Amino acid sequence: MVLLITRQVPEAVAARAEREFSTRALDMQGKFDAAVLLANLGGVDAILCTPADRFDAGLIGQLPQTVRVIGTFSVGLEHIDLAAAQARGIAICNTPDVLSVATAELALTLMLMAARRAGEGERLLRAGKWTGLTPTFHLGTGVAGKVLGILGMGRIGRELAEMARGLRMRIHYRNRTRLDSLLEAGAIHHDDDASFLAACDFLSINVPGGPATRHWLNAERISLLRPGAIVVNTGRGTTVDDAALTAALRSRHVAAAGLDVFSDEPAIDPGYLALENVVLLPHIGSATVEARNAMGFLALDGIAAVLGTGQSVI
């Protein structure tokens, strides 16, 4: 079976793929090029892609009949038109569970960096502008005893909640459905945006992308946050209205933000670049050796299952 891999994958994943398939590596860099993909699909049975590769209905309609499965190096599936794939009989497999801890760790990293102004401090040192310690120098805010509001209490949200409890934070959450008491573990559920946002000292966005969550954090919802709240996003950049958030950061209604995802990656809204009170990271939520290897192996498991049994993973 021939497997086409769109971008460079971890060495261990590539080695396993080469053992189990006849592999064809595109090693795309930067923006996804559908024409290059289509030019290399002759005889291909499966594709291993990433969230940077956009498989819309038009592209899926042009895939050769040999392609039976698309595996994606992600949990999110908004970069693939699932209805178009189903209509073509192409199975889709993703990588849930295995990146939850790594992504929660990064959300916690961003939260602490934003709260303690770590990015600003490092830039100050690198610029040679630190003049010494004074009692009022570079004051941030602590997290102990504060309320962490989690939008999306799925696997990643629950991992983050567990970590935050270790910092003596109180957990509130907003979710499509309320969790059972065991999964809640004492977290406070809100069934409306207003009460949820009003409770938040910190807001962590952990929901998937797509039309249902586009610009969820808009000017109206930002106005409901406590003054001085801190916003963290490790979900999808499209959930945030960039103009509204940058305006709130300039006014300091939102004291700081930590962002790992952006609406038009790899492009970043220039408004963020002009602000000191934003920590910006290049979509590295799952970027640990352990998580990325596990993601690759799970995607290969799904691809092998489809090609071996004809089953539909998604």
| pLDDT on residue 189 | 98
Examine the domain organization and report whether 73 and 118 are in the same domain.
Answer: no
CATH number at residue 42: 3.40.50.720
Residue 21 lies in a domain: yes
- The residue annotated as part of the active site, out of 20, 265, 276, 290, is 265
- The residue annotated as part of the active site, out of 226, 283, 290, 292, is 283
Residue 314 lies in a domain: no
Q: Peptide bond before 51: cis, by omega within 30 degrees of 0? A: no
Q: Is there a catalytic annotation at residue 265?
A: yes
Q: Tokens standing for 125?
A: 């040192």
Examine the domain organization and report whether 218 and 128 are in the same domain.
Answer: yes
DSSP 217-244: B-HHHHHHSPTTEEEEE-S-GGGB-HHH
Examine the domain organization and report whether 185 and 155 are in the same domain.
Answer: yes
Examine the domain organization and report whether 26 and 143 are in the same domain.
Answer: no
Residue 133 lies in a domain: yes
Examine the domain organization and report whether 117 and 39 are in the same domain.
Answer: no
Q: Is there a catalytic annotation at residue 236?
A: yes
Examine the domain organization and report whether 104 and 118 are in the same domain.
Answer: yes
- The residue annotated as part of the active site, out of 68, 174, 226, 236, is 236
Give the mean pLDDT of 236-257: 98
Direct distance between the N- and C-terminal alpha carbons of the chain, in angstroms, rounded to an integer: 20
Examine the domain organization and report whether 117 and 254 are in the same domain.
Answer: yes
Of 199, 254, 255, 248, the residue nearest 219 (C-alpha): 248
Residue 273 lies in a domain: yes
Alpha-carbon distance 270 to 260, whole Å? 15
- Is the pLDDT at 210 greater than 90? The verdict is no
Examine the domain organization and report whether 239 and 105 are in the same domain.
Answer: yes
Q: Is there a catalytic annotation at residue 253?
A: no
Which tens digits make up the pLDDT trace of 87-139?
Answer: 999 999 999 999 999 999 999 999 999 999 999 999 999 999 999 999 999 99
Examine the domain organization and report whether 183 and 221 are in the same domain.
Answer: yes
Examine the domain organization and report whether 23 and 71 are in the same domain.
Answer: yes
Residue-range definition of the domain harbouring residue 242: 100-280
Give the mean pLDDT of 51-55: 95
pTM beyond cutoff 0.85: yes
- Is the pLDDT at 1 greater than 90? The verdict is yes
**Residue 255 identity (one-letter amino acid):** A
